[in-house]
Amino acid sequence: MQSNGLSQPYTRGQALPELLKQRILILDGAMGTMIQQYKLNEADYRGMPTNTRFVDHPGDIKGNNELLVLTQPQIISKIHEQYLDAGADIIETNTFGATSVAQEDYKMAGLAYEMNEISAKLARAACEKYSTPDKPRFAAGAIGPTPKTASISPDVNDPGARNVTFEVLRASYREQIEGLFAGGVDLFLVETIFDTLNAKAALFALDEFFEETGERLPVMISGTVTDASGRILSGQTVEAFWNSLRHIKPLTFGLNCALGAALMRPYIAELARICDAAVSCYPNAGLPNPMSDTGFDETPEITSSLVDGFAKDGLVNLVGGCCGTTPDHIRAIANAVAKRKPRAFYRESAEASS
């Protein structure tokens, strides 16, 4: 069994560290982009007419994609399978916003645990269907940033104001983690981080969960650079972001979303230079374009060519897609990087010399 650098072996996902040394692994693409293609209405989100559980729920719930694991699970399972068929080694649970903090917007905070457990079961079942001895598949528990920020004031006239506390975030993330674990995920992915303090609440909850249960699962961390300044929203450069979280000893560390691959390259190159973890990159399909069918302009050929450039130059260990990407994008990326060698990450050299 592989060590995660914390003196304890992984209890799930044990094969991942070795696989990352052997080849560039493939993450899936966007869940939201695929859901949008179904053009679901309010009744569809409620599961009507076959599912009457949410028929009287107050307020609009259209757009609550995490609820679909309860009301339209066949859609979520089909999307998972499309990405696996395209070549994904790792698929993400449909839980980006499945925390009580995020679900409060829909008055569904009490469903958070159930959403995570069921979503994990759907992803795990899809992985089992597509896994082979030569190509095992893994379900990553997706942990999003929530719509709130612990570092930035929502009131321009009161710099000290906050709309969420570290403790509220920690408790919300802990509930999510427990649901994902119960559903059978192989690893956890703390992603699209725009506020390092939010991420620290999630990672603290993970560490707390591991300590109390004796379980150890691989942890992947992925931030998002929000503009050409090269900083995440809470103000850190990618180097500062890495140094703030490197003590977690993540299996992978990288960037997703925001800029698209072309503008993301210098920041991935910086992480490749300084990280002693595997480097991940799953960009948007370029910049947003509301006139496009997917909301983004880049074709699979364009995105895969850009990502392949990262692989050719030895910058990455895991690649995939974020907003605007589809199974066609992931298939093109998987085919493009299949001939490339993974980046040698420094922790291997340190372990070899010790």
Q: Which two tokens stand for residue 110?
A: 């009490």
Distances (CA, A) of 32 to 17, 102, 198, 257, 269: 29, 16, 22, 13, 28
Mean pLDDT of the chain: 94
Cα 269 to Cα 266: distance, rounded to the nearest angstrom: 5
Q: Is the pLDDT of residue 1 over 50?
A: no
E strand or H helix at 57: none
Inter-helix orientation angle 112-130/166-183, to 10°? 40
Q: What pLDDT is recorded for position 349?
A: 41
In this predicted model, what pLDDT tens digit does every residue of 10-40 receive, in sequence order? 999 999 999 999 999 999 999 999 999 999 9
Q: Which residue positions form the known binding site for Zn(2+)?
A: 257, 322-323
- Provide the pLDDT confidence category of residue 6 given band limits of 50, 70 and 90: very low
Q: Is the pLDDT of residue 354 over 70?
A: no
Residue range 101-110: mean pLDDT, rounded: 98
In this predicted model, what pLDDT tens digit does every residue of 126-144 receive, in sequence order? 999 999 999 999 999 999 9
59 burial type by CB count under 10 A (0-12 exposed, 13-18 middle, 19+ buried): exposed
Query: DSSP labels for 272-310?
Result: HHH-SSEEEEEE-SSSB-TTSSSSB---HHHHHHHHHHH
Q: Is the pLDDT of residue 348 over 50?
A: no
Q: Which residue positions form the known binding site?
A: 257, 322-323
Q: Is the pLDDT of residue 336 over 50?
A: yes
- Provide the pLDDT confidence category of residue 353 given band limits of 50, 70 and 90: very low
Question: How many other β-carbons are positioned within 10 Å of the β-carbon of residue 350?
Answer: 11
Cα 49 to Cα 227: distance, rounded to the nearest angstrom: 44
Cα 203 to Cα 183: distance, rounded to the nearest angstrom: 19
- Provide the pLDDT confidence category of residue 2 given band limits of 50, 70 and 90: very low
3-state secondary structure of 258: coil
Dihedrals phi, psi of 337, to nearest 5 degrees: -90, -5
* 268 against 163, higher pLDDT: 268
CATH of domain 15-29+75-338: 3.20.20.330
Q: What is the DSSP letter of 53?
A: T
Dihedrals phi, psi of 241, to nearest 5 degrees: -60, -45
pTM of the full structure: 0.94
* 258 against 95, higher pLDDT: 95
Q: How many CA atoms lie within 13 A of 88 on its CB side?
A: 30
